Every structure is written in structure tokens, then in C-alpha cells.
């Protein structure tokens, strides 16, 4: 696989104009594809954008570019699921997991105070656990993690083994969480979807793994959240460069 040439394929879609002109974010997606598979990749992303629960986009862009670096392979984070009965219970589980991962309690509260302000980005925000402030300079865009994927056959083996749905959403979230948590400056991640029908979210970190929480918002709510809690970030630019540019495949087990 390492000798094969791969392409990064990215999609973003919005409504009421493009994102940079104030349009509402509908959907984004990123894949790694061989040349032979590009048509399929582009189609998958097109399909994702035009049949989205956040609405029909009136702007969409799909691009691909060849990757000129070796692609790293890493094991998926271990996974756990917390069944909760209410948003309040779910959010309290999330807070205690973040604390376990090493985010000080007062910094968790500071981040939550800012959550609604950042709920309609198409990327993630970087939150510094020392200063208690957002440290990326991406405003309404946020930082979009890219150049990562998980071969479908290997993901489906993982899903069957853990009795998880073979869902692209779970695959994409676990790929992203695995990539983000692998960087030593990442303390933890907090995420829930901006899709109105999807209420399960997670807290992830290198030591805790990927901890799913079955209810982090109410049905119908289009406010999502993606925060990377970071510490000791002397070089913010190389961190963002890792998130956006380091190509990486998640691979479970030993097999190809």
C-alpha cells in the first residue's frame, strides 16, 4: 500500500452562498483515494453533500490533489460507549471524561461558555488549557482535519468485531479522533454532530480512547461542537500543519 500513489479528496458544501460569503455549512468530507478509485470517491462525497439533513446546498466544491509524502498507518483508538438517559447526564459524563484526560475543571467550564459561539464552524477550534482561550486564527472556518482515511474492508472487520454499525459517520469520527489524539500536544477532544438527527457524541484522548456518549444534545438541534484541547503548544503552525496535511491511514489489526 505504501508504494501506491494516493490522492486527497475533499468536499465542502453550504447553503445561501459559499462558506466564505456567510453561507450556512451543510457538509464536509475528506477521503484518501487511489487514482482508479477517484470517480467513486468523488461520487461518495457528492452523495453525502446533496442528501444532507442540514439542508440542500447551493454551493459545493470537490477537489483532489496527489499526496507527495509517505502515508502513516496507525491503530484506531480503543472504544467505549456510555449509555445515558438525558443530555444533562451525557454532558456531565463528558465533563468528567475531559477532566480524567487532564483538562482542568475551570478550563472545561470556560470552553463550555464559548461552545454556542463556535457551533456553526465547518472545522474545529483549538482551545489552550493554560490560557483558557481559543488559539487558532481560523475564525468562522476553524481547522479542518484532512488527509486521513480507513480502508472500508478493514473498517468493516472492526465494526463487525465490536458490533458497531458499518456507518461512515462512525468511521469518519474515529479516524479523525485517532489522528488528532496521536499528536502529543492534544490533551482531549470533545465532539458532537451538527446534524439534527444525530445526538451521540464523544470525548477522546490517547489514554482514554474513543469514549462515545449516547446523548449530548436534543434531537433537532443543529448546533454541533468540535474542540481540541491542547497544551504546551509552542508551535501552533506545525500542529495545524499536522492536522491538515499529515497523510494517515487507520488500520485495525495486522492484515492488509
Interface contacts to ligand WAQ, rule CB under 6 A: 28, 30, 121-124, 142-145, 169-170, 173, 176, 191, 193-195, 198, 200-202, 212, 224, 226
Nearer to ligand WAQ, 10 or 206 (CB): 10
The answer to whether the CB of 140 falls within 8 A of the CB of 121 is yes
d(CA 11, CA 14): 10
Residue written as grid cell 488549557: 129
Closer to ligand WAQ by Cβ: residue 151 or 164:
164
Which CB atom, from 200 or from 251, has the smaller least distance to ligand WAQ? 200
Tell me the closest approach of the beta carbon of residue 12 to Mg ion, in angstroms: 9
For Mg ion, the closer CB: 27 or 200? 27
- Here the cell at position 7 is 490522492
CB of 81 to ligand WAQ, least distance (A): 8
The phi and psi torsions of 52 (rounded to 5 degrees) equal -110, 140
Distance CA(70)–CA(234), nearest Å, equals 25
Smallest distance, Mg ion to C-beta of residue 54, A = 7
Min dist CB 190 to ligand WAQ, Å, is 10
76 binds, among Mg ion, ligand WAQ, none (CB under 5 to 8 A by kind): none
Residues near Mg ion, by CB under 5 A:
27-28, 172, 194-195
Residues 48, 53, 57, 62, Cα dihedral to 10°: -20
Start-to-end C-alpha separation, the chain: 8
Amino acid at each position: 500500500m505504501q508504494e501506491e500513489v494516493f490522492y486527497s479528496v475533499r468536499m465542502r458544501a453550504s447553503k445561501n452562498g459559499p462558506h466564505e460569503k456567510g453561507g450556512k455549512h451543510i457538509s464536509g468530507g475528506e477521503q484518501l483515494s487511489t487514482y482508479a478509485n477517484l470517480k467513486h470517491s468523488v461520487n461518495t462525497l457528492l452523495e453525502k453533500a446533496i442528501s444532507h439533513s442540514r439542508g440542500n446546498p447551493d454551493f459545493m466544491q470537490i477537489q483532489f490533489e496527489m499526496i507527495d509524502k509517505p502515508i502513516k498507518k496507525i491503530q484506531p483508538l480503543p472504544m467505549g460507549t456510555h449509555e445515558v438517559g438525558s443530555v444533562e447526564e451525557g454532558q456531565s459524563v463528558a465533563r468528567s471524561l475531559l477532566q480524567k484526560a487532564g483538562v482542568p475543571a475551570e478550563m472545561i467550564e470556560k470552553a463550555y461558555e464559548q461552545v454556542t459561539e463556535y457551533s456553526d464552524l465547518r472545522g474545529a477550534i483549538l482551545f489552550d488549557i493554560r490560557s483558557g482561550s481559543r488559539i487558532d486564527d481560523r475564525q468562522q472556518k476553524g481547522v479542518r482535519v484532512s488527509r486521513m482515511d480507513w480502508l472500508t474492508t478493514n473498517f468493516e472487520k472492526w465494526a463487525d468485531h465490536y458490533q458497531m454499525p458499518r456507518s461512515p459517520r462512525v468511521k469518519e469520527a474515529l479516524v479523525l479522533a485517532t489522528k488528532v489524539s496521536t499528536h502529543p500536544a492534544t490533551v482531549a477532544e470533545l465532539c458532537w454532530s451538527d446534524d439534527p438527527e444525530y445526538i451521540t457524541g464523544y470525548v477522546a484522548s490517547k489514554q482514554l480512547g474513543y469514549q462515545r456518549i449516547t446523548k449530548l444534545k436534543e434531537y433537532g438541534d443543529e448546533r454541533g461542537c468540535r474542540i481540541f484541547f491542547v497544551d504546551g503548544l509552542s508551535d501552533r503552525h506545525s500542529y495545524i500543519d499536522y492536522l491538515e496535511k499529515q497523510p494517515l491511514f487507520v488500520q485495525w489489526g495486522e492484515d492488509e
